[in-house]
Amino acid sequence: MAPANRRSATSSMIAAIHHPLRRRLIDLLGVEGPATASQLAARTGELVGNISHHLKVLAAAEVIEEAPELAKNRRERWWRSAHQSYSWSVADAGGEPAGELIATVSEERNVTHHLDKVRQWFEQRSEYGEEWDRAAFATDSWLRLTPERLSELSERIGDLIQEYYENPSTEASATPIYVFAHGVPARP
């Protein structure tokens, strides 16, 4: 069973998510919580108009949503993430070439995004100290599985991550952690 805050992505969602600035906006809203276009512009160094445009694209794809209860007046618009995570497969495109292309390119961009986060850690880990250096991890294994067992493994990993998402650490030392996993058929 997929976690409640995970959503199967459509081609339009996938295309919206995998623009570099929009991906950063999604990450900021997911990690730091709701924000206005002005706040996001300040955090990214982009112009407010550019941020507003990208927020509208994300909203049209239902990746983010307005948070009107946070507005102090009618002009102020707050935005929040609509879901914690998204999943998709090239197979979801059903043989439609444009959908397959979008999914394939997005998979490649997703892997690059994952690696960029790990590289960022390598570059900045001295700022965190030995305790974080010892806690950070990487793991890989060769398994022999059927498609059904690989799906089961994916669900179990997703459920475990969802458990930590729903019960975040409240200690002062808690910091945002980027977690990702891939399980794919491969050859040594």
Query: Which pLDDT tens digit goes with each residue over 92-141?
Result: 888 889 888 988 998 899 899 999 999 999 999 999 999 999 999 999 99
Average pLDDT value for residue range 50-78: 94
User: Regarding the domain delimited by 6-135, which CATH topology (the fold level of the hierarchy) does it fall under?
Assistant: Arc Repressor Mutant, subunit A (1.10.10)
Percentage of the chain surpassing pLDDT 70?
96
Is residue 15 within 8 Å of residue 102, measured between CB atoms?
Answer: yes
Query: 3-state DSSP call for residue 66?
Result: strand
DSSP string for residues in 27-59? HHHHHH--EEHHHHHHHHT--HHHHHHHHHHHH
